[in-house]
Amino acid sequence: MATATLTIDLSALCDNWRALNSMTACETAAVVKADGYGLGATRVARALQHAGVTRFFVAAAEEGASLREALGPGPEINVFSGHMAGDTDMISDMTLTPMLNSAEQMLRHFEALPSAPFGVQLDTGMNRLGMEPAEWASLRDIALELGPTLIMSHLACADDPGHPMNPQQLALFRELTDGLGVPRSLSATGGILLGEDYHFDLCRPGVGLYGGLPFVDATPVTRLDIPVIQTRSVLPGESVGYSNTWIAERPSRIATIAAGYADGIIRAMGEKAWLHSGDTPCKVVGRISMDMIGVDVTDLPEEPASLQLLGRHQSVDTLADAAGTIGYEILTSMGARYGRRYTS
């Protein structure tokens, strides 16, 4: 095998959903945008559907259309970006539920699909998507008359439980929605962990399903094993990789593995990253290049056939720390060249 193997544990994924679901007394949906956070939306969503998920969230209507073809007519599929120009046929044909973000989107939806389901997204301080309070006040009665399936907003700082933005957004969301008689949703993974005040009628976890922070008790979902192409001896004073950034200080054995930044292994993690052979950590040496990475395997008893980048010893968030980024980017950057293996 000349390319890495990404193993995706669908049982672990569903266990994470069940664990998050058990923390609430409301409905728990699932966010499967960005091709199921890079792990394959079709396989991920089918597994979650079998586990009991009846409502999914995606970023765009195109993602919703693909998901509908995979899941059939049963589950509700909500579209965060709302009803964009050119989306009308997809929304209608695939029975998607857009989360309307503006007066423009509301007008488009009501004129083109007056009897089709819709939700409303409100901006409570993140300043990313949704109607601001004044806009919502002017459109609320019209929207309520047509019966939204959900009113939602999104927390900006839920990964920091002590951040003052959390209670501030909660208070504004209540102010904008209390007494309207419409199901409400404020929380993704981080909001679930903040407690029941943030749960309302529906929670919509994303990254926690896939083993990422802030859900520290998540079961790991991904394992990435990368084959070794060649192993060579390097003498003290010799360098490895571009620009001579690593120079051997002892006689070393260096394995060249078959992956690089073209496979989503972020170049910036460089020599802060480690791989594992069984329980033994092996350090990345030199720069990560497009298709290859050098790894110091001097301390292994024998030459390895492959090395593990993700698994029980190293999570997506550990890698993210090495790259100066977040686990979301590690997950969604998983390379198209990887052989994918699903277990359940």
* Among 37, 198, 210, 242, the one annotated catalytic: 242
User: Is 269:323 a contact under the CB 8 Å cutoff?
Assistant: yes
3-class SS at 190? helix
Half-sphere exposure of 66 (CA within 13 A, CB side): 17
* Among 33, 37, 198, 338, the one annotated catalytic: 33
Give the Cβ contact number of residue 37 at 10 Å. Answer: 27
Characterize the bridge pairing of strands 97-100 and 246-247.
unpaired
Give the Cβ contact number of residue 290 at 10 Å. Answer: 10
3-class SS at 4? coil
272 labelled catalytic: no
Q: Which amino acid would we find at residue 137?
A: A
Question: Which among 309, 292, 194 is positioned nearest to 240, based on CA atoms?
Answer: 292
Sign of CA dihedral 270, 275, 281, 282: negative
Q: Compute the distance between CA of residue 36 and CA of residue 56 in angstroms, rounded to an integer.
A: 11
342 labelled catalytic: no
Enumerate the active-site residues: 33, 242
